[in-house]
Structure formats: C-alpha cells, structure tokens
Amino acid sequence: MVKIYLGPAGVPLSSKKRNTIDGIRTVKELGLNAMEVEFVQGVKMKPESAEEAGKIAEELGVRLSVHAPYFVNLCSNEREKVEASKARIFDTADRAERMKADAIAIHIAFYGKLSPEECYQQVKSELGEVVDKARSQGIKNVKFGVETMAKDTAFGTLDEVVSISKEIKGVIPYIDWAHTFARQGGRIDYGEIIDRLKRELGLTHINSHFESLVFRNGKYVDEHLPIENDAPPFKPLAEELVKREDLSITLICESPELEKDALKMKKVLEELGYKFT
Ligand SMILES: [Zn+2]
C-alpha cells in the first residue's frame, strides 16, 4: 500500500501562534502528517530553532519539507544574483537538514535571455556546486528538489526536472501537479508521471504540491485557488495513489485554504479506502 504524507504549505491558518513549532503541533491536531516550512521570503530561521522544530516533528510523526525563497534565479545575467541565489539554496538546505526534512523545493531559474538549453547547462553547473558544497559541509541527507513550474518563461518542464535529477546526485523533481498541468496546456496523466519517476529515476518517494489554478485568456496561470474546480482534478491523482505499491508521497496543499483543503484531500483519499494512521 502507498504511504501518504499530507499537510499544508506553511503554518496552518487555524494555528493560534504563527511559528513553525506551533504549526507542527496544529498539523498533528488536525489529523494531518506533513508540513512544508516556508522560507519563501528568506531564510530567517536560526539553526537551533530548526533543530528544535525537527525534534518536535519527529516526536509527533509529522514529515517536514522546506520551500526555498522565491528570490532564486540561477540563470540571472547578474553574477551577484546568481551567487545570492546559491547562498539562499544552501541556507535552506542547511536548516532543512537540521529539521530532518527530507527535501527542499526550489524555483530554480528563469530562462531570461538564455535559450532553455543554455539555461539548463547553467543550472546544472551552479546547482551542482551548491550540492557539492552542502555535502562537503555535512549536509548529507536533504534532497534538492527542482520544482516543476507553470510559466513558459521558467525552467521547470517535467523533462527538465527529470533530466537534471539524472545528472546531479541529490537532486530530485519536486512535482507541483498543478504547475505541470498548466505547463502541459491543461492536461495531466498522473499515472504516467508516477511511472516515469520510478522508471527513470528509481524514485520510491515523491515530493509534491497540489492546488488549483486560475484559468484566464485561454490558459491556466500560476495563481493558486482553493481545490474545487478541477484545475487540475484531485480525484484521479488520489485514485492513482491508492492503487500503488512500493511508493510513498508527500502531498503539500498550496491552496489559499491550506489545511481546510488538505482535509478535503484527506477525505477524498479515505473515501477511496486509504487509511491515515
Ligand atoms: Zn513552489
């Protein structure tokens, strides 16, 4: 049977105190079992706080992952921005390792003036350096997740993230199901993607985001909506998951409704016979 870790992107909205540790406790109280810690505005958490959060999460059985800052672009044409991006990725990985989070999500680059192929080569070399530095400084376990992106201007097609994951040890695809759905013109075959990750990368655990997107001017755009409008549909993903063996997945709900929608997803999975323990 598949093992599912489900929870919100960040401290639940219903958590009275707005810090990571109280967020983890609220996740547990809600009957969820995962949380993504959001460093999207910068890595401000102290190393000791990360270790403390990791202990609490472990005690409560809440699986942690971490989102790196949005201000990352490994294909910027300004060298200092590339270096600042690398430092942000490194710091995110450091705190994540201390939290015993399994993976970090990174919006890795915009093509900018580069061709997708040139950008790919630059991501490969810059990210490779960050991973090497991290591994040489004791950040041994956390995986560097390159997120699939919705916008045509961003590095992050499924092909790109799969390919870069083959080339750099320690790098994995961080699947945003809705982004991939949008990037593919409003189509997605969940089963095929899960099969591909297993076949080409040997992945037995998938890190992922789920939310709904706005449809505007004939296409899906990267604005997150509550999960209700089948953009993309959640039920087919749930159906794919519950029939799998030898697979685990982290499903992070990135809808504006956070835990409310994570609980909706939980209900769908339970109706299909999945039991959260
Ligand atoms: Zn993201």
DSSP one-letter code for 9: B
> How many CA atoms does the CB half-sphere of 128 hold within 13 Å?
11
CA dist., res. 164 & res. 151, Å (int): 18
CA of 142 to the centre of ligand 1 (A): 17
The arithmetic mean of pLDDT across residues 111-116, rounded, is: 98
CA of 107 to the centre of ligand 1 (A): 6
Residue 212 near residue 226 (C-beta atoms within 8 A): yes
The arithmetic mean of pLDDT across residues 29-45, rounded, is: 97
Is 249 part of any domain?
yes
Question: Under DSSP, is residue 247 helix (H, G, I), strand (E, B) or coil?
Answer: coil
CA dist., res. 65 & res. 219, Å (int): 30
pLDDT at 277: 84
The closest of 236, 114, 126 to 171, measured between CA atoms, is: 126
Element containing residue 33 per DSSP (H, E): none
The whole-chain average pLDDT of the chain stands at 97
CA of 148 to the centre of ligand 1 (A): 8
CA dist., res. 70 & res. 89, Å (int): 10
The arithmetic mean of pLDDT across residues 104-122, rounded, is: 98
Is 277 part of any domain?
no
Is 276 part of any domain?
no
Residue 61 near residue 33 (C-beta atoms within 8 A): yes
Is 219 part of any domain?
yes
pLDDT of 229 over the 80 cut = no
CA of 70 to the centre of ligand 1 (A): 8
Residue 149 near residue 183 (C-beta atoms within 8 A): yes
CA of 57 to the centre of ligand 1 (A): 22
pLDDT of 27 over the 80 cut = yes
- Condensed to tens digits (0 to 9), the pLDDT of residues 62-98 reads 999 999 999 999 999 999 999 999 999 999 999 999 9
Domains in the chain, number? 1
CA dist., res. 100 & res. 103, Å (int): 9
Is 173 part of any domain?
yes
Is 88 part of any domain?
yes
Residue 26 near residue 60 (C-beta atoms within 8 A): no
pLDDT at 112: 97
CATH of residue 170: 3.20.20.150
CA of 78 to the centre of ligand 1 (A): 23
Is 74 part of any domain?
yes
- Please identify every residue whose CB atom is under 5 Å from ligand 1, which is an ion: 147
Number of H helices, E strands in the chain: 9, 10
Which range among 41-45, 208-212, 224-228 shows the weakest confidence by mean pLDDT?
224-228
Domain membership of residue 65 as a residue range: 3-271
CA of 176 to the centre of ligand 1 (A): 7
Residue 230 pLDDT grade (very low, low, confident, very high; cuts 50, 70, 90): confident
CA of 187 to the centre of ligand 1 (A): 20
- Condensed to tens digits (0 to 9), the pLDDT of residues 142-199 reads 999 999 999 999 999 999 999 999 999 999 999 999 999 999 999 999 999 999 999 9
pLDDT at 197: 98
* CA dist 231 → 14, 46, 175 (Å): 25, 37, 16
